């Protein structure tokens, strides 16, 4: 692969390290900018960038075994250059080690780090001779082993070990590292014959579509580097949405003619599905914090040709008196720590810490207090997060029930035959990637008391 693709990845890594843009948005923006590149080149950029981010802890551990300067004290460009080159050496079998080393040295020189060419060359050549990555002892340092082997901050490892056994934690961490295909949902009004014909057209272009094991509307989409260009996308025949999100909206039990309020709606996946359930006689109002987020929802609504959706910018922590007890169903997918989507948003785990997660709880409570006030008496609040954390999930359900006058309601009837349904009768479920092949996702169905 030419050095220009590596240079693109290097610049992406430097941009990500600033902490101003999430990695999945960087990938989207860069691949859009360089859409003229071949599919192979774009796949290389995506894999190298995402893999380097995802394996950062392990890569730093390996580099520190052989480098005279600790990774954290290196110049940002050299640090990023060594990480991406080490990733090629250890995890990209199709890239010869010599190519990874030589291209890195060329890039160091091109970017005016001539004096550090020898350092880069020496570190990478030592890594090339290691064969397999060196890991902490599983027996002597079990937490450190999990942290390095699965590139997970130790505080998150400890968090999962407090919830699950060592074996279950290892399976969860492994699942979060797996490369998962995009999940799509075909529009509800699409006839089965038209859907099947569309699947055949996409497969004819080299794509691969497989049904999700748990969710009828969900399909895995593979071997497609630009979904927006696929047949049917611009016409609103399908949209991108994880199966976990689909299950959550289904559990809300939205009926034809219902009034629905989605208070933290961007990018709009739940809004779109809720609008299909509510039908022409119902309505969905989608809210979020910024014009930019609302614009993303509007784009999806227009593409899917939904006429029962309205949108507005609104801070979910601010009470709206006009909306008091106005909705049959309120969807509250609140801001959370994101510990369930680390496989998709690979830099989340580096941007969170215990203190930040604890602070989120106050924000979540502020949002659900307002969300609860918008539900009609006897109506439904569907609370959800994309995390694996009882403080943000089960404990928040308890808070809503005690503080806002709600009762949990069984979701058994809304779930397919699947593992992990033991809590469904109590009104909630924690989805886990290693069990359900979805994001790590939590949702609860809560009914507002009538008196």
CA 333 to chain CA centroid, Å, is 14
SS3 labels along the chain: CCHHHHHHHHHHHHHHHCCCCCHHHHHHHHHHHCCCCCHHHHHHHHHHHHHHHHCHHHHHHHHHHHCCCCHHHCCHHHHHHHHHHHHHHHHCCCCCHHHHHHHHHHHHHHCCCHHHHHHHHHHHHHHHCCCCCCCCCCCCCHHHHHHHHCCCCHHHHHHHHHHCCHHHHHHHHHHHHCCCCEEEEECCCCCHHHHHHHHHHHHHCCCEEEECCCCCCEEEEECCCCHHHCCCCCCCCEEECCHHHHHHHHHCCCCCCCEEEECCCCCCHHHHHHHHHHCCCCEEEEEECCHHHHHHHHHHHHHCCCCCEEEEECCCCCCCHHHCCCEEEEEEECCCCCCCCCCCCCCHHHHCCHHHHHHHHHHHHHHHHHHHHCEEEEEEEEEEECCCCCCCCHHHHHHHHHHHCEEECCCHHHCCCCCCCCCHHHCEEEECHHHHCCCCEEEEEEEECCC
Q: Phi/psi class of residue 213: alpha, beta or left (left: φ > 0; alpha: ψ in -120 to 50)?
A: alpha
Task: Give the residue from 184, 251, 244, 253 showing the smallest Cα distance to 219.
Answer: 184
Q: Exactly one of 224, 264, 336, 386 is catalytic; which is it?
A: 386
- Asked if residues 4 and 34 have their Cβ atoms less than 8 Å apart, the reply is no
- Residues 216 and 213: their CA atoms lie apart, in Å, by 8
Peptide bond before residue 76 is cis, with ω within 30 degrees of 0: no
409 — phi, psi (to 5°)? -130, 135
Distance from the first to the final alpha carbon of the chain: 67
- Asked if residues 259 and 283 have their Cβ atoms less than 8 Å apart, the reply is yes
Active site annotation includes 386: yes
Positions marked catalytic: 386
């Amino acid at each position: 692969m030419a050095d220009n693709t590596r240079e693109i990845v290097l610049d992406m890594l430097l941009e990500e390290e600033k902490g101003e843009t999430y990695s999945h948005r960087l990938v989207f923006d860069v691949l859009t900018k360089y859409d003229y590149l071949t599919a192979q080149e774009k796949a290389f950029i995506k894999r190298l960038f995402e893999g380097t981010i995802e394996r950062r802890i392990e890569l730093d551990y390996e580099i520190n075994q052989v480098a005279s300067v600790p990774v954290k004290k290196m110049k940002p460009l050299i640090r990023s250059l060594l990480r991406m080159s080490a990733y090629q050496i250890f995890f990209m079998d199709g890239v010869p080690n010599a190519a990874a080393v030589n291209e890195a040295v060329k890039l160091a020189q091109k970017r005016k780090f001539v004096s550090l060419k020898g350092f880069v060359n020496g570190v990478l050549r030592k890594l090339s001779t290691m064969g397999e990555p060196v890991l902490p002892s599983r027996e002597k340092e079990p937490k450190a082993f999990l942290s390095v082997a699965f590139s997970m901050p130790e505080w998150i490892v400890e968090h999962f070990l407090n919830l699950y056994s060592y074996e279950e934690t290892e399976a969860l961490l492994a699942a979060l590292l797996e490369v998962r295909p995009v999940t799509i949902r075909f529009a509800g009004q699409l006839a089965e014959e038209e859907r099947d014909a569309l699947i055949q057209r996409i497969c004819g272009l080299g794509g691969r579509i497989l049904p999700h094991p748990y969710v009828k509307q969900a399909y895995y989409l593979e071997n497609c580097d630009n979904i927006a260009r696929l047949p049917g996308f611009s016409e609103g025949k399908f949209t991108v949405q994880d199966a976990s999100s689909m299950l959550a909206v289904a559990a809300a039990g939205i009926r034809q003619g219902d009034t629905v309020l989605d208070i933290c709606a961007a990018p709009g996946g739940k809004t779109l599905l809720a609008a299909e359930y509510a039908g022409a006689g119902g309505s969905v109002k989608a809210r979020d914090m910024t014009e930019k987020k609302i614009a993303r929802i509007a784009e999806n609504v227009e593409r899917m040709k939904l006429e029962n959706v309205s949108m507005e910018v609104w801070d979910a922590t601010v009470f709206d008196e006009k909306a008091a007890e106005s909705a049959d169903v309120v969807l509250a997918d609140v801001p959370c720590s994101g510990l369930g989507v680390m496989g998709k948003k690979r830099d989340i785990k580096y941007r969170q810490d215990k203190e930040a997660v604890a602070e989120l709880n106050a924000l979540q409570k502020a949002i659900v207090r307002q969300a609860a006030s918008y539900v009609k008496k006897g109506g439904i609040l569907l609370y959800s997060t994309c995390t694996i954390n009882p403080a943000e999930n089960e404990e928040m359900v308890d808070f809503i029930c005690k503080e806002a006058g709600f009762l949990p309601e069984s979701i058994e009837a809304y779930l397919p035959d699947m593992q992990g349904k033991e809590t469904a009768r109590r009104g909630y479920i924690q989805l886990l990637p290693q069990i359900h092949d979805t994001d790590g996702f939590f949702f609860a169905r809560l009914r507002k008391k009538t008196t």
